[in-house]
Chain A
Amino acid sequence: MSDTHNKEVDQISGVETTGHEWDGLKELNNPLPRWWLYIFYATVVWAVIYWVLYPSWPLVSSYTKGVLGANQRQEATAAYDKGVADRAQFADKIVATSLEDITQDQDLLQYALANGRAAFGDNCAPCHGSGGTGAEGYPNLQDDTWIWGGTLDDIHTTLLYGIRTDNDDARFGDMPAFGTDELLTREEIDQVSNFVASRAGVETDADVDLAAGQVLYEDNCAACHGDNLEGIQEVGAPSLMSANYLYGNSLDDIKAQVAAPRNGVMPGWVERLDPATIKSLTVYVHSFGGGQ
């Protein structure tokens, strides 16, 4: 600050200028307010203290750890554990309460729905869709077609053990492969498929003998799907009356399913999710609309 002689001093204010000039306006070199300067120094000091206390500088393969040993991963884990512990009391109540009673208890219901929604997103959404509307081969949980039953208990059983899994308590229902196993001829498959389509309101082929199809249906299908196509839940044979079919609603889809049926697998969750979560999921899925 010694040499100010060659600096220009503003006539009016007596303050020296910075030498910057725009359109004839000269910038005055006014000093900073003291408080401002001190706050600036304080931030510098703060930064240095921070470097010492907390992880900050990157090194070649690591970083400075800071003397406090602060670690965000540990903090996150601790917060997670605390969350689990906080929820434990609710979880215990859910386990101890019957499904029916959970839906009657406002607090438990709210908890179960929230917990179920989260668990659904993590575990179920990949197949059944984030809104539970399913896709071809994956049942729509929002409608009233429940292949294995839509009561709270049915849904709970399905969630626990799955369908067609290795679990001893899992429910099975295998549709015979009428085409691949040569139980029916090509023509017979066409006939029975057209008969089913005609009853479900799907457009049929021209010149097909629907009466023959009906006979074939009664001989081969009625045992599982019922005399009036109403389906039998106990064996997982869906109703064929309306075309909410799992594997497609066109005549070709029906033919394909009769000839070489697909038998989808629903995994059981008893070994992967805790009982409270499975119960919450049951309540949540049931809240989509439930059903028989």
Chain B
Amino acid sequence: MSADTETHEGGHSEEWFASAKKIYPMATHGLFRRIKWTLLFITLGIYYFLPFIRYDRGPDAPGQAVLIDMDHTRAYFFFIEIWPQEVYYLTGLLIIAAVALFLMNAVAGRVWCGYLCPQTVWTDLFLWVERKVEGDRRERIALDKDPWTFGKIRKRATKHFFWLMIAWWTGGAWVLYFNDAPTLVWQLLTFQAPMIAYVWIGILTTTTYLLAGFMREQVCIYMCPWPRIQAALTDEKALNVTYRWDRGEPRGSLKHNKELAAQGMPAGDCIDCYQCFQVCPTGVDIRKGMQLDCIQCGLCIDACDNIMTKIGKPTGLIAYDTDENIERRIEGKEPVYEIVRVRTIIYAAIIAVVGAIMLFTLLNRDFADISVLHDRNPVFVEQSDGSVRNGYTVRLSNKRRHTRAFMLHVEGMPPNTQVEAVGADSTFAGRPIIEVGPDTTREVRVLVSSPPWEKMPQSTPVTFRITESVMGEVVTTKDTFKAPGEP
């Protein structure tokens, strides 16, 4: 173990603060590295280019497939259009996301952290840049120790330049989700974009640069709540990156272990080469067992497999495995991989149920909406002819892309009840017809008067029903009609 990577054991610091040990992850290659590259390409590809995908919604509607339109309080996701009162879909998505995280954890520990977490993905990308510019682990350690020569300054400047470019592009892509992407790109280039766009680009450029360039594994270890929750949720059947100490110990140098083996003494497969430790992006020595710092990226598996191949031993000294299996192997039993068990079934079922509910509501959602607010001041008005009048504020929403007319009917009142809507466009058989423009909400004041001298009870339940004139779509809501009468 080199001095640079040695962790301080004991000996108290008189500093006012303790700085985190700098980690110099070494490059490796293998199955898990390839999986990580593939996922990096897919996730970042989606993130950076999704806003440019077009989707035709007809005239007067945004043609961007994925768009959060703050000005008009609409969110678009391909064929789905979400109104502000429908953000409960977001609740559903969050529930699914949380349970999916639990499910992943029950199957294979922190796989999310190792492969898909934005922090991991961007850190990986930044590390790649760092390696390209400054070289691999050994060279970077040396470079840090070097005095400030021109060459070092050039390397450092190049690295930070590329980091900032990536960070800036990351912030830029973010704002494209909130405005028509091609238009905004042009506005940004010509410095005509709204101030808020520059502010957000600034914020995300800074955070990406700091988090992926400098904080790195410290985000996972100190700032992220998931490791704590995860530690409480995991069990002995979850697959985790595991050092199979039953096979690896006692460890020793290649030569030493060979000698031991030759003498018929027990010798493990681990040759104590520290490759698994040096490739680790969070600085974990996986041979110490399951640790909070390990993000389950599998890079140590790749590193050790490469070593095992070289020394002609079977791979898999470090592998996705369970603690249970180590015990089983020691007892001479076959390893088991119980992916399907009560825990995973329950998680999967929750995801399926919430997903089904969301899909159902999405497919059956109304394209019209009515909400009614009863006047509180006054609750009712008595007229000179003995009738009682109630005032309501009625909001009608038309979620279609063309103007539609709705006929308003109030059910539950005696015959000859009068319904008037202030500003109604016309009436049909005494029922006001109200036109609502495309994709908008209209508020009208509705006055309901009971027939003259009709004795109305103190409270009468009524139903406000709107019928759309062409398709006959019907939406109702309930309210009450109030009068001074007997309860």
For A29, the closest partner residue in chain B by CB is B12
B residues near A50, Cβ cutoff 8 Å: none
Interface presence of B140 (CB below 8 A): no
Q: Which partner residue on chain B sits nearest A242 by CB separation?
A: B384
Cβ B222 vs Cβ A144 within 8 A: no
Given contacts A130-B377, A289-B389, contact A241 B17 (CB under 8 A): no
A31 touches B13 (CB 8 A): yes
Interface 1/0 per residue, A132-156 and B, CB below 8 Å:
1100000010111100000000000
B50 at the interface (CB under 8 A from A): no
Considering the chains assembled together, what is the distance between the CA atoms of A34 and B15 in angstroms?
10
Among the listed A15, A33, A132, which residue makes an inter-chain contact with B17, where contact means beta carbons less than 8 Å apart?
A: A33
A37 to B16, CA, bound (A): 9
Which of B15, B20, B423 has the most chain A CB within a 10 Å cutoff?
A: B423
**Closest partner residue, chain B, to A241 (CB atom):** B384
Bound-complex Cα distance A157 to B296 (A) = 79
* A198 interface contact, C-beta 8 A: no
Q: Are A244 and B12 in contact (CB under 8 A)?
A: no
Contact string, B376-401, partner A, CB cutoff 8 A, digits 1/0? 11100111111001010000000000
Residue of B nearest to A12 (CB): B10
Tell me, in angstroms, the Cα distance from A200 to B453 when the chains sit together: 14
Task: State in angstroms the CA–CA spacing of A202 and B176 once bound together.
Answer: 72
**Interface flag for B14 (CB, 8 Å):** yes
Residues of B within 8 A of A133 (CB): 377-378, 381
- CB contacts under 8 Å to A, within B174-221, are 215
Q: Contacting chain A: which of B88-96, B117-125, B441-449, B456-464?
A: B441-449
| Interchain CB contact under 8 A, A14 and B10 | yes
The answer to whether A106 has its CB under 8 Å from any CB of chain B is: yes
The reply to whether B384 and A31 contact each other, CB–CB distance below 8 Å, is: no
* Contact present for B423 and A131 (CB under 8 Å): no
A4 near B: Cβ within 8 Å? yes
Min CB gap A26→B, angstroms: 13
B-side interface residues, number (CB < 8 Å): 32
Bound-complex Cα distance A110 to B222 (A): 53
What residues on B are CB-neighbors of A9 within 8 Å?
12
In the A-B complex, the 5 residue pairs with the closest CB atoms: A131-B377, A14-B10, A242-B384, A142-B381, A31-B18
| Secondary structure of the A contact surface, majority rule | loop
Contact partners of B447 in chain A: CB under 8 A: 289
Interface residue ranges of B388-436 to A (CB < 8 Å): 389, 391, 422-423
**Are A287 and B381 touching (Cβ within 8 A)?**
no
Q: Is B454 close to A, CB under 8 A?
A: no
State how many angstroms separate the Cβ of B426 from the closest Cβ of chain A.
11
Query: What's the minimum C-beta distance from A256 to chain B, rounded to whole angstroms?
Result: 21
Q: List 16 A-B contacts (CB under 8 A).
A: A15-B12, A31-B17, A31-B18, A36-B17, A109-B422, A131-B376, A131-B377, A133-B378, A140-B381, A142-B378, A142-B389, A145-B384, A239-B384, A241-B384, A242-B384, A288-B391
- Are the CB atoms of B18 and A144 closer together than 8 Å? no
| Residue in chain A with minimal CB distance to B16 | A31
Interface size on A, as a range, is: 35 or more
A247 vs B388: C-alpha distance in the bound complex, in angstroms? Answer: 21
B385/A144 in contact, CB under 8 A: yes
| CB-based nearest A residue for B11 | A14
Which residues on A sit within 8 Å (CB–CB) of B20?
A: 33-34
A143 in contact with B13 (CB, 8 Å): no
List residues of chain A with CB within 8 A of the CB of B381.
133, 140, 142-143, 289
Scan B44-59; emit 1 where CB is below 8 A from any A CB, else 0: 0000000000000000
- Given known contacts A103-B422, A133-B377, A143-B381, A4 and B14 CB-to-CB distance under 8 angstroms: yes
B85 within 8 A of A: no
Query: Would you give the shortest CB distance from B461 to chain A, in whole angstroms?
Result: 23
For A239, the chain B residues whose CB sits under 8 A away are 384
Contact of A110 among B13, B14, B389, B443 (CB under 8 A): B443
Give which listed residue, A35, A131, A242, contacts B378 with CB less than 8 A.
A131
The answer to whether the Cβ of A30 comes within 8 Å of any Cβ in the partner chain is yes
Q: Is A96 among interface residues, defined by CB-CB distance under 8 A?
A: no
A250 vs chain B, min Cβ distance (A):
16
